[in-house]
């Protein structure tokens, strides 16, 4: 009693019947392009489509995802992360206050309850976590840095979901939010979390690159993406062959062709974004009045950062870069 019973491999629920809509993985739209990970995961009974951009994650995939999250937990807790869980339903009031209710446009899933209160299904949780910290009156500088993270489902109304778990409407993400006493301390936190991401991908044996990136709708002044080079990737990257410089092309002017450090010619490749980091400053803490008492006993706005890892996207992207056309290979840790 109380002991888990190990199932035989033949007993695992792993349906191999493909959707009867033409091409495997077309998500109801025959002729839609597929990719290696989408095709292999469907054929192996790892995922099953329910509607465009939404999937059932079947038992073998859930097992792999739990192992991946365990590695993420180890890396996040090594930098002082504390795990929590925030609601997927986020108040429209918070999002309007930050300006992102309008800025996100049609990609934000919005709904109204029976009392005519507005909500969104959170694609990220900057507003919610900042309001949480702001509600803690009497927060002292001695309690900072504060590094809070979660692993939850996220939602984005993709106009054209495709490539299976690489671009879906519902997905799992690890998101961390940090609060520091000063810009200097926040930038140290930024480097520590970025180093933890590098450690994570190295442990997984994935060939990643860290590139400078745009801040987009999340905002902030500094941002980096963690990319897995792959032909199916939707981001265009420019890389220095000596490793001195790497950037998403959207951050550069169209004429930059050489490395600003060594002068070498930059080479272009495509990449799959699997992680993103932002130094936010006081963009959100100033709106929510997330303050702490300084050593002089004066209120100061917390300096923030946010850091995301695409859990389900990493599962699919690792298949893209490690597998052959007819056999799946995942990192040995998962």
* Gap between the Cα atoms of 162 and 166, Å rounded: 7
Mean per-residue pLDDT, 74-78 = 98
In angstroms, the CA 334 to CA 332 distance is 5
Tell me whether residue 145 is in a domain. Answer: yes
Nearest CA to 212 out of 232, 185, 187, 239 is that of 239
Of the candidates 48, 329, 282, the residue with the CA atom closest to the CA atom of residue 181: 282
- Rounded to the nearest 5 degrees, what angle is found at the Cα of 103, between the Cα atoms of 305 and 269? 65
- Higher pLDDT, residue 15 or 330: 330
Identify the CA nearest to 303 among candidates 313, 292, 295. 292
**Is residue 106 in a domain?**
no
Cβ neighbours for 108, distance < 8 A, ≥ 6 positions apart = 95, 100, 101, 120, 121, 123, 156, 157
Mean pLDDT along residues 98-114: 96
* Rounded (10°) CA dihedral 114, 117, 123, 125: -130
**CATH code for the domain in which residue 136 is found:** 3.30.930.10
Please count the CA atoms within 13 angstroms of the CA of 20 that sit on its side-chain side.
0
> Can you tell me the mean pLDDT for 137-157?
97
Q: Count of CB atoms within 10 A of residue 38's CB?
A: 28
Overall average pLDDT of the 164-191 stretch: 98
Asked if residue 145 has a cis previous peptide bond (ω within 30° of 0), the answer is yes
Residue with tokens 């739209």: 29
* Domain region containing 241: 57-85+131-322
Domain total for the chain?
1
pLDDT exceeds cutoff 80 at 33: no
Residue-wise pLDDT tens digits, 111-126: 999 999 999 999 999 9
Residue 32: its pLDDT value, please? 60
**pLDDT in the model for residue 106:** 96
pLDDT at 226 over 60: yes
The answer to pTM > 0.85 is yes
- Residues ≥6 apart with Cβ < 8 Å to 45: 14, 15, 16, 58, 60
3-state secondary structure of 48: strand
Pick 264 or 225 by higher pLDDT. Answer: 225
CA nearest to 306, candidates 85, 81, 109: 81
**CA neighbor of 118 nearest in space, from 94, 92, 98:** 92
Is the per-residue pLDDT at 271 higher than 60? Answer: yes
Quick one: 23 exposed, middle or buried, by C-beta within 10 A (0-12, 13-18, 19+)?
middle
Please indicate, yes or no, if residue 13 is contained in any of the structural domains: no
Report the share of the chain in percent with pLDDT over 90: 81
Please determine, for residue 11, whether its predicted confidence score (pLDDT) is greater than 60: yes
Q: Per mean pLDDT, which of 88-92, 160-164, 216-220 is the most reliable?
A: 88-92
Domain for residue 191, yes or no?
yes
Q: What letter does residue 8 receive in the DSSP assignment?
A: P
Question: Confidence band (pLDDT; 50, 70, 90) for 334?
Answer: very high
Q: Coil, strand or helix: which one is 271? A: strand
Q: By three-state DSSP, how is residue 175 classified?
A: strand
pLDDT in tens, 192-220: 999 999 999 999 999 999 999 998 889 88
The answer to whether position 20 is within a domain reads no
């Amino acid at each position: 009693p109380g002991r888990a019973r190990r199932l035989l491999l033949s007993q695992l629920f792993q349906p191999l019947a493909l959707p009867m809509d033409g091409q495997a993985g077309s998500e109801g739209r025959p002729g839609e392009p597929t990719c290696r990970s989408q095709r292999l995961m469907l054929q192996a009974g790892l995922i099953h489509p329910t509607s465009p951009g939404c999937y059932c994650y079947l038992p073998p995939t859930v097992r792999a995802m739990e192992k991946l999250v365990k590695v993420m937990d180890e890396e996040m807790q090594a930098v002082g992360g504390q795990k929590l869980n925030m609601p997927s339903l986020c108040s429209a009031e918070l999002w309007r206050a930050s300006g992102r209710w309008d800025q996100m446009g049609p990609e934000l899933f919005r709904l109204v309850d029976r009392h005519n209160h507005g909500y969104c299904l959170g694609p990220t949780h900057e507003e919610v976590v900042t309001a949480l910290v702001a509600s803690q009156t009497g927060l002292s500088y001695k309690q900072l840095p504060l590094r809070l993270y979660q692993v939850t489902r996220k939602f984005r109304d993709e106009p054209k979901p495709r490539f299976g778990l690489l671009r879906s409407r519902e997905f799992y993400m690890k998101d961390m939010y940090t609060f520091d006493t000063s810009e200097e301390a926040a930038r140290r936190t930024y480097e520590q979390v970025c180093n933890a991401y590098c450690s994570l991908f190295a442990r997984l044996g994935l060939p990643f690159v860290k590139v400078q990136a745009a801040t987009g709708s999340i905002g902030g002044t500094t941002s980096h993406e963690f990319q897995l080079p792959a032909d199916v990737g939707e981001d265009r990257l420019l890389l220095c062959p000596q490793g001195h410089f790497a950037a998403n092309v959207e951050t550069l002017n169209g004429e930059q062709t050489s490395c600003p450090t060594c002068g070498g010619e930059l080479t272009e490749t495509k990449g799959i974004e699997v992680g993103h980091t932002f130094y936010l400053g006081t963009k959100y803490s100033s709106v929510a009045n997330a303050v702490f008492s300084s050593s002089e006993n004066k209120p100061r706005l917390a300096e923030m950062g946010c850091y995301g890892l695409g859990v389900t996207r990493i599962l699919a992207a690792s298949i893209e870069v490690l597998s052959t056309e007819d056999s799946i290979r995942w990192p040995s840790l998962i």
